[in-house]
Amino acid sequence: MSHHKEILRLALPSVVTNITVPLLALADTAIVGHLGQAAFIGATAIGGTIFSMIYWIFAFLRMGTTGLVAQARGRQDRSEARTILVRALRLSVCISTLLLILQMPILRVALYFMAPAPEVSQLASLYFRIVVWGAPAVLAQYVLTGWYIGEQDTRSPMLVALAQNLLNVALSLTLVYVARMGFAGVAMGTVLSQWAGLLFAIGLLRPYIRGAKSSLPPVDTTETATWRQMLRVNSDIFLRTVCLVAVTVSFTAAGSRQGELTLSANMLLMQLFILYSYFTDGLANAAEALAGKWDGAGCRRELHQTVRCLFAQGAVVSAAFCLLYLLGGRTLLALLTNVETVRLTAATYLPWASLIPIVALPAMVWDGVFIGLTWTRGMLGSMFLAMCLFFALLTCCQQLGNHALWLAFDSYLLARGTIQTCYVIRKSNRHEF
């Protein structure tokens, strides 16, 4: 199979998986939107935001597992791949247990910063107290998704995501309208579908485990060196995610300080970035799996060819999105809102958003490659420096208003990829890449 075909085989299911996420959120909003109170919609949004931030922080369980498993697969070390899975699952259990123990302090802090109206706060608390019991299932699914991708299998996570999301909608409708549970039924439907998704993901492991039982030695999860490697990789990704969250939250806060109109316009334009990321995240997942496999196998030539193909395909996707936003951006904004003042304000900053597919591409591809190679320290360093640049530009160019915010954001994306490219060049000069 050619490198281009292999990348597409891994990337396309990941794109489908990514697209299911907003569709699920839309379905939940539609269900609560027909319960007769605006507070239900607000509470679902608040609760969903809290869990999005929590799970975003612990995404290292997915990414760290992918890189390590892909390298083990490249070495044809089936025992190590199985050990990584068990070790990562144990780590996810520890984290989810801590989340359950600290659920009330986490809820109070989140509601303090979001400061919703009393009725919304009460409903959001109910939603949180129910959905938090799905945390062990979600985090375990992160590990299993990472393991599957490392095993060069993005189809299984796609099937799990589709099945879970469809079940979520069916359960929520049943619990709300048939069982008469009202708003709590939406939360309960989410929890039950999360646990069902985990069981489905475990069930898909059977072909891997069944073929390995007779030939693999017992799993050793006490080996200190391998635990240190996993914790190093995961801690680097965790800190990198903290920097990412800091930029994202600061972007929203800076827009909010400029007024409701600017904030709304910025959020519309960020949807264009999110749409683009659904496709490039698929490429990044393919990069994680393939870079790790070729590195583990010691095939440098195959690794280099794969990276070139990733950038070639990424360039096509980025050019298409850039042209789409430049030529059809105003039409897309009109589809997102019928508020003319918001559309006109967003159109003012549309050129900045149209540049994102070009300036973000190197970072998107290199992130996947770095995860596959477990160069997580380099990924963390590039993110930290880019974050510093973002805040520096935001501070020094305040007189430019919202243009300063978009200048800082585009520069931050470009800096990430540029620094990572320099890191790769240095590794190449040392014959480490």
pLDDT higher than 70, residue 218: no
Lowest mean pLDDT segment, chosen from 102-106, 178-182, 218-222: 218-222
Q: Helix axis angle, 260-297 relative to 402-429, nearest 10°?
A: 10
pLDDT digit string, tens, across residues 327-383: 998 998 888 777 788 888 889 999 999 999 999 999 999 999 999 999 999 999 999
In angstroms, the CA 290 to CA 204 distance is: 21
% of the chain with per-residue pLDDT over 90:
63
If pLDDT is split at 50, 70 and 90, which confidence band does 210 have? Answer: low
Instruction: Give start and end residues of each alpha helix (H) in 102-223.
Output: 103-114, 118-131, 135-150, 155-173, 183-203, 206-212
Rounded (to 5) percent helix, strand, coil in the chain: 90, 0, 10
Q: Put residue 37 in one of left, alpha, beta given phi > 0 → left and psi -120 to 50 → alpha.
A: beta
If pLDDT is split at 50, 70 and 90, which confidence band does 223 have? Answer: low
pLDDT higher than 80, residue 209: no
Q: Helix axis angle, 38-57 relative to 3-32, nearest 10°?
A: 150
Residue 135 structure tokens: 């945390």
In angstroms, the CA 70 to CA 421 distance is: 22
CA distances from 29 to 25, 35, 41, 47, 212 (A): 6, 10, 6, 12, 44
User: CB–CB of 236/379 below 8 Å?
Assistant: yes
The model carries a pTM of 0.90
| Per-residue confidence (pLDDT) for residue 294, from 0 to 100 | 95
If pLDDT is split at 50, 70 and 90, which confidence band does 214 have? Answer: very low
| Per-residue confidence (pLDDT) for residue 215, from 0 to 100 | 47
In angstroms, the CA 146 to CA 410 distance is: 29
pLDDT higher than 70, residue 26: no
In angstroms, the CA 212 to CA 304 distance is: 31
User: CB–CB of 361/376 below 8 Å?
Assistant: no
pLDDT digit string, tens, across residues 33-57: 777 777 787 788 788 888 888 998 9
In angstroms, the CA 234 to CA 87 distance is: 12
Q: Put residue 7 in one of left, alpha, beta given phi > 0 → left and psi -120 to 50 → alpha.
A: alpha
Q: What is the average pLDDT across 415-427?
A: 96
pLDDT higher than 80, residue 68: yes
Residue 303 structure tokens: 């690794």
Half-sphere exposure of 408 (CA within 13 A, CB side): 27
